[in-house]
Amino acid sequence: MEVVRRYEGNPILTPEQVPYDCTAVYNPAAVKFDGRYILLFRVQRKDARSVLALAESEDGIRFTPREGFAMVPSQEEPFRTYEEYGIEDPRITRIDDTYFITYAAYSRFGCLVGIAKTQDFERFERVCLASEPDNRNAVLFPKRFGGLYARLDRPSYPGKPPSIWISFSPDLVHWGGSRCLLMPEEYRWDSFKVGPSVPPIETPEGWLCIYHGVFMTMNGAVYRQGVFMLDLEDPCKVLGRYEGWIMAPKEPYEFIGYVPNVVFCCGAVEEEDGTLKLYYGAADQCICLATARLEELVSLCISGGS
Ligand code: BMA
């Protein structure tokens, strides 16, 4: 039996089901707010630039998209300059009573990390631009460490394999203490790039981190999902990494789309019974759902083997 099981009614949201002029909806952040499930997802418009929209659900399966977009590129500086080509791939982390949204801001300078916040999912406020280019896939930890906020992200430097780093901040604006935590493994499914997928999930054994790994083939990149674990007290310490993937493209909706061969997860909701609902973009085209037992993902990280 597979550890990650796809919902048989996938996809759960397609570009045809949303009230926007767009070519694709994908890579959703997910959270439970006020008893309802919320997806904040990427909408690719007809100029191939992206904005973010929101959909809500009572059961985590049937989502109703809201009219109008939740977040579009800001008209206020300095955001305006660095978001001119769009905003992409959001993640949501609740810290105290605020929901922070990390996203990729795209401009002529490349891609960097933006942070916004909301308390009600009605009004969204920019916090800061939190990196230089090229950096994306930032996820915030829901807790502070010695009073400092922490994040994982995926900076990249020409000629070096894009890897997962950790950084710390007293105020979410100024970041430092950066360390590399996870690099691509040579000639493995995650040999070309690795990047954070969903915000770290606290478990008794450590922070469960779901990440994406990319393999380059003659036919382009294949995006899969894997897991590793960080120490609860000292998140710079990697406790384990599962050598296989937990999810790879295999269904028609993951093979056929704007970018084939992609499963890309940005959001997960933990249920009281220990089930994780994983929301992911399939083939950069539509939004899908899969479930997994949190404890099974944790034991993969600890055992390490595939
Ligand atoms: C990454 C990002 C993601 C996308 C993925 C697969 O570099 O652009 O938004 O889902 O590629 O195309």
Q: Mind listing the pLDDT tens digit for each residue in 212-231?
A: 999 999 999 999 999 999 99
Q: Mind listing the pLDDT tens digit for each residue in 166-185?
A: 999 999 999 999 999 999 99
Q: Are residues 205 and 227 in contact, defined by beta-carbon separation less than 8 angstroms? A: no
* Mean pLDDT estimate for the chain: 97
Flag whether pLDDT at 128 surpasses 90: yes
pLDDT at 206: 98
Q: How confident is the model at residue 306 (pLDDT cuts 50, 70, 90)?
A: low
**Pocket, ligand 1, Cβ cutoff 6 A:** 27, 88-89, 223, 259, 262, 264, 281, 284
Distance 287 CA to ligand 1 centre (A): 14
32-44 average pLDDT score: 98
**Could you tell me which residues come within 8 angstroms of residue 5 by beta carbon, excluding any fewer than 6 positions away?**
290, 291, 292
Distance 1 CA to ligand 1 centre (A): 29
Flag whether pLDDT at 274 surpasses 60: yes
Q: Are residues 104 and 111 in contact, defined by beta-carbon separation less than 8 angstroms? A: yes
Flag whether pLDDT at 237 surpasses 70: yes
Distance 138 CA to ligand 1 centre (A): 14
Residue to substitute in 262, 266, 285, 288 for testing ligand 1 pocket (most ligand atoms within 8 angstroms of CB): 262
**Count of positions (residues) in the chain:** 306
What kind of fold does domain 4-303 have according to CATH?
Answer: Tachylectin-2; Chain A (2.115.10)
Counting DSSP H helices and E strands in the chain, the numbers are: 3, 21
Q: How confident is the model at residue 304 (pLDDT cuts 50, 70, 90)?
A: confident
> For strand 275-282 and strand 206-217, is the pairing parallel, antiparallel, or unpaired?
unpaired
Distance 28 CA to ligand 1 centre (A): 12
Flag whether pLDDT at 305 surpasses 80: no
Q: Mind listing the pLDDT tens digit for each residue in 54-67?
A: 999 999 999 999 99
Residue to substitute in 42, 103, 194, 264 for testing ligand 1 pocket (most ligand atoms within 8 angstroms of CB): 264
Q: Which amino acid is at 275?
A: T
Write a three-state SS string for the chain.
CCCCEECCCCCCECHHHCCCCEEEEEEEEEEEECCEEEEEEEEEECCCCEEEEEEEECCCCCCEECCCCCECCCCCCCHHHHCCCEEEEEEEEEECCEEEEEEEEEECCEEEEEEEEECCCCCCEEEEECCCCCEEEEEECCCCECCEEEEEEEECCCCCCCCEEEEEECCCCCCEEEEEEECCCCCCCCCCEEEECCCCEEECCEEEEEEEEEEEECCEEEEEEEEEEECCCCCCCEEEECCCCCECCCCHHHHCCCCCCEEEEEEEEECCCCEEEEEEEECCCEEEEEEEEHHHHHHHHHHCCC
pLDDT at 130: 98
Q: How confident is the model at residue 1 (pLDDT cuts 50, 70, 90)?
A: confident
pLDDT at 303: 83
79-92 average pLDDT score: 98
